[in-house]
Chain A
Amino acid sequence: DAGITQSPRHKVTETGTPVTLRCHQTENHRYMYWYRQDPGHGLRLIHYSYGVKDTDKGEVSDGYSVSRSKTEDFLLTLESATSSQTSVYFCAISDIGRGGGYTFGSGTRLTVV
């Protein structure tokens, strides 16, 4: 299996605090993605990266920022957490050379109280 890990697995935070979620891969893949999963919405793209320091916005990027200083690490930051950002967050990597599709991390359940 592709090596991709997310941390933390669970987090509870207070409204207005900054939060950073980490995604780490050992596969040297170029593309990395952050999604959020909400009931009735499936998974929606927040931000993605196509290389070190190369990132772009997805469908639901407001209130989120990302950074990728190394190939293996992709960080998602909530600058000032709000209750609407309570969700499950997934990181993923893609390998078009293997026929497309993603390998996902195990997800982070974030609760903003």
Chain B
Amino acid sequence: AQTVTQSQPEMSVQEAETVTLSCTYDTSESDYYLFWYKQPPSRQMILVIRQEAYKQQNATENRFSVNFQKAAKSFSLKISDSQLGDAAMYFCAYGPELGAQKLVFGQGTRLTINP
């Protein structure tokens, strides 16, 4: 069974600085998706960024980028120029390529932004 591990329960960063959240996963599949979701205090789950495993290029979305290391099964999220609105729980998730795509989530990392 696939597993996803986020080893940092909590992280903090100064406003305008850069922070990296770590995620590792375990799978025997060669094609799959990886995701980062953000959950602010409102409780809403918001998709931040996705990565297809067959793509070697790391995904980027504005200030958010990933470092995808397929051989190491590592998928870290980098947030540049941190803003107060980035404070949230962040979840890493793994999903199979086809079928029901039952996502497997990590435990989450709570990110605090210090003004």
A interface with B by C-beta (< 8 Å)? 31, 33, 35, 40-45, 48, 50, 56, 58, 88, 90, 92, 94, 96, 99-104, 106-107, 109
Report which of A48, A99, A101 forms a contact with B100, defined as CB distance below 8 A.
Answer: A48
Residues of chain A lying within 8 A (CB to CB) of residue B35: 100-101
Residues of chain B lying within 8 A (CB to CB) of residue A44: 105
Interface of A is mostly: strand
* Docked CA distance A41–B9 (Å): 11
Is B11 in the interface zone, CB < 8 Å from A? no
Report which of B43, B47, B104 forms a contact with A101, defined as CB distance below 8 A.
Answer: B47
Residues of chain A lying within 8 A (CB to CB) of residue B91: 42-43
* Docked CA distance A41–B6 (Å): 10
B interface with A by C-beta (< 8 Å)? 4, 6, 9, 33, 35, 43-45, 47, 50, 52, 91, 93, 95, 97-98, 100-108
Residues of chain B lying within 8 A (CB to CB) of residue A48: 100, 102
Quick check: A96 and B101 within 8 Å, CB to CB? yes
Residue of B nearest to A43 (CB): B105
Quick check: B102 and A104 within 8 Å, CB to CB? no
Residues A42 and B107 in contact in the complex (CB < 8 Å), given A101-B35, A104-B44, A106-B43: yes
Residues A101 and B107 in contact in the complex (CB < 8 Å), given A48-B102, A96-B101: no
* Docked CA distance A109–B91 (Å): 19
> Separation in Å of the B89 CB from the closest CB of chain A?
9
* Docked CA distance A94–B35 (Å): 13
Quick check: A100 and B105 within 8 Å, CB to CB? no
* Docked CA distance A48–B102 (Å): 8
Report which of A31, A42, A103 forms a contact with B105, defined as CB distance below 8 A.
Answer: A42
Quick check: B101 and A42 within 8 Å, CB to CB? no
Residues A101 and B33 in contact in the complex (CB < 8 Å), given A42-B107, A42-B108, A44-B105: yes
